[in-house]
Amino acid sequence: MSIELKNASFSYPGGFLANENLTLTIAPGERVAIVGQNGAGKTTCVKMMNGLHKPCDGDVLIDGENTRDFTAAHIARTVGYVFQNPDDQIFNQSVRKEIEYMPRYFKLPDEEIRRRVDRAVALTGLEKYMKKNPFDIPYPIRKFVTIAAVLATEPKYVIFDEPTAGQDKWGTEILEHLMDELEKDGIAVVTITHDMEFVARNFKRVVAMAHKNIIADGTAGEIFGNDAVVEESRILKPQLTILAESLGLPGQILTCEDLVTALTGLN
Amino acid sequence: MALIELQNVTYHYPYVKSAALQDISCTIEEGKFYGIIGENGGGKTSLCNLLRGLIPHFYQGKLEGKVTIAGTDVMEWDTGKLAAKIGYVFQNPFTQISGIKETVFEEIAMGLENLGVPKKEMVDEVLRVMKLLNIEELMEKNPNALSGGQRQRVAFASILAMNSDILVIDEPTSQLDPQGTQDVFEIIQMLKASGKTIILVEHKIDLIARYCDEVIVMQGGRIVKQGPTAEVLSSPELPELGAVAPQVSQFGHAMAAAGMPLDHIPITIEEAIELIQKQKGAAK
């Protein structure tokens, strides 16, 4: 039981090859960050995970089911995908309608719809926006509407495509809390992000992509500690990792606590 | 010299009861690089709209207080001339792309076309900014078929081509990878070196710390803090104001809490290295 990419390749119509021979397994309940330069193939890769793209070569299995044999609508019940651009996803007139849409489509009892919507809203902090038109609320907050809409479908795996873009302190904290809650429920979270401090704080496993391929898959410490990977995937080390390296401190230092501990010798 | 001067400005969008901007006073000086930070919904984009005259010329609504741009009251400015003087890069590149041009080249040329710039000059300028932003290979692509990061670069290029004196840039890097972000900051730094005045809204605080001269913090429609970058970003009250401190400043505060305070709170890595070495030296 897991999401398995087996030598999966994908070309867009017209022949542009976006993913080449990807092999990757996401276990239930796991939390994985996908990082890498613009155009590396991150979004294409996650769209293969929920059946929006079917591999041109190789296989993608969701809990043993080959995505080729099922519709994206079927797979979306297991793997939820939150679009990079919220405007590509939203189509209802109010935030509430947008979040209720899928549970209603599933014809769930009213009580269950209410439970799911309430939980999704609590996790995304959208209480005060429920009656608004999604297009009248600020862009970074609109992103939470799309996250809530996907959470209300209660998938087993959730994919966030650049949720950190444009987020302020409030938004980043909501995201971090949300991921912790999903982890408690055993829901796997795959997140594409360019925010390396966010990665350092929240992810144990990091997948680095560059030019259509996965070039590294390891712990945050391993990825940020590997200069060749950092350079090839055009990511940046966390600020305090750079600081620790400049000071010649040993070990994998990723966060503020790591660095203070190393310097004050509390360990 | 004061290029833009805001005195006790309060602004309401039409039909909205609460003020989007409240009692704003600040001075934008020529040739400086300003960073606007703070919570979403706190008034950053409204402040941009005010600085570039879209408030009140486009949005209407109720404006109180005084706004002076290059010595002339904003109400007396011709909007076309103002648009040529102040360039604006939209927060959402998906919004800025015109949708009426079929190639990236034409999209970037559109502003110059509207200004009636001669063809030869226009072509040279478009090629120059494409090279600068490293998007030459996108020249013949359809702007609507680009990735988020590519679109953001095209949106930035189309404003750079206008060569305005003042640039108001609203989150130009939200869709870019770390290296691409770094590149954009280097370009902004270059524009500053060529004498342009820059006003940048950005959440990437570590880069604000490195590049900006002054920082303005907004919360609830007000300016809650403003001043030289080091002074604002090293302030311990920053989180209460809805803003994030640079990583190295957070580290500085944590060292103080752990009983080993540095000489002062650093805002850049270089500064932090120096302070730690100084502290080690003093301990010996």
Cβ–Cβ gap A242/B276 under 8 Å: no
The reply to whether B240 and B113 lie within a common domain is yes
The whole-number average pLDDT for the span A143-172 is 95
User: Does the structure show a pLDDT above 60 at A195?
Assistant: yes
- Measure in Å the smallest separation between the Cα of B74 and chain A Cα atoms: 26
pLDDT of residue A38: 85
pLDDT at A33: 98
Residue A201 pLDDT? 94
Span A71-95, mean pLDDT?
93
**Choice among A126-135, B15-24, B132-141, B173-182 with the minimum mean pLDDT:** B173-182
Distance from the A50 Cα atom to the nearest Cα atom in chain B, whole angstroms: 20
Residues B239 and B254 reside in one and the same domain: no
- ipTM attached to this prediction: 0.87
Query: So what's the architecture of A1-78+155-236 in CATH?
Result: 3-Layer(aba) Sandwich (3.40)
Partners of B255 on chain A (C-beta within 8 Å) are 260, 263-264
Categorize the per-residue pLDDT at A267 as very low, low, confident or very high, splitting at 50, 70 and 90: very low
Domain shared by B162 and B22, yes or no: yes
Biggest CA-to-CA distance, chain A: 60
- Domain containing residue B139: 2-245
Mutation target for B interface from A263, A264, A266, A267: give the one with most B CBs within 10 A.
Answer: A263
Confirm if A89 and B96 have CB atoms less than 8 A apart. no
A206-260 pLDDT per residue, tens? 999 999 999 999 999 999 999 999 999 999 999 999 999 999 998 889 999 999 9
Are B53 and B171 contained in the same domain? yes
**Count of C-beta atoms within a 10 Å radius of residue A141:** 25
Residue A10 pLDDT level (bands cut at 50, 70, 90): very high
Q: Is B119 in the same domain as B40?
A: yes
pLDDT above 90 for B183: no
pLDDT in tens, B213-236: 999 999 999 999 999 999 999 999
As a whole number, mean pLDDT of residues A46-66 equals: 96
B270, pLDDT greater than 80: yes
Does the pLDDT value for residue B149 go beyond 80?
Answer: no
CB contact under 8 A, A37 and B38: no
- Does the pLDDT of residue A266 top 70, yes or no? no
Total count of domains within chain B: 2
Residue-range domain boundaries for chain A: 1-78+155-236, 94-153, 238-267
**Does A138 score more than 80 pLDDT?**
yes
**Region B27-44 average pLDDT:** 95
- B193 and B255 together in one domain: no
Option in A36, A138, A243 nearest B272 (CB): A243
What CATH number corresponds to the domain at position B35? Answer: 3.40.50.300
Is 50 exceeded by the pLDDT of residue A142?
yes
What's the mean per-residue pLDDT of chain B? Answer: 91
B76 and B27 in one domain? Answer: yes
Which of B148, B178, B273 lies at the smallest CB-CB distance from A196? B178
Cβ–Cβ below 8 Å for B175 and A196? no
Q: Tens of pLDDT along B81-125?
A: 888 899 988 877 777 788 888 999 999 999 899 888 999 999 999
Helical pair B148-160 and B104-115, crossing angle rounded to 10 deg? 20
* B10 contacts chain A (CB < 8 A): no
**Cβ of A168 and B40 within 8 Å?**
yes
- Which pLDDT value is given to residue A159? 98
Q: Which residue of B has its CA nearest to A161?
A: B175
- Minimal-distance CA residue of chain B relative to A164: B174
Which pLDDT score is estimated for A179? 98
Q: Is the pLDDT of residue A120 over 60?
A: yes
Q: Are residues B17 and B135 in the same domain?
A: yes
Give B247's contacts in chain A (Cβ within 8 Å).
197, 238-240, 256
Confidence at residue B284, expressed as pLDDT on a 0 to 100 scale: 65
Q: Give B147's DSSP letter.
A: -
Interface of A with B (CB under 8 A): 36-39, 43, 84-85, 87, 138-141, 162, 165-172, 194, 196-197, 234-236, 238-240, 242-243, 246-247, 256-257, 259-260, 263-264, 266
Average pLDDT, chain A: 94
Q: CB-CB: which of B147, B243, B255 is closest to A39?
A: B147
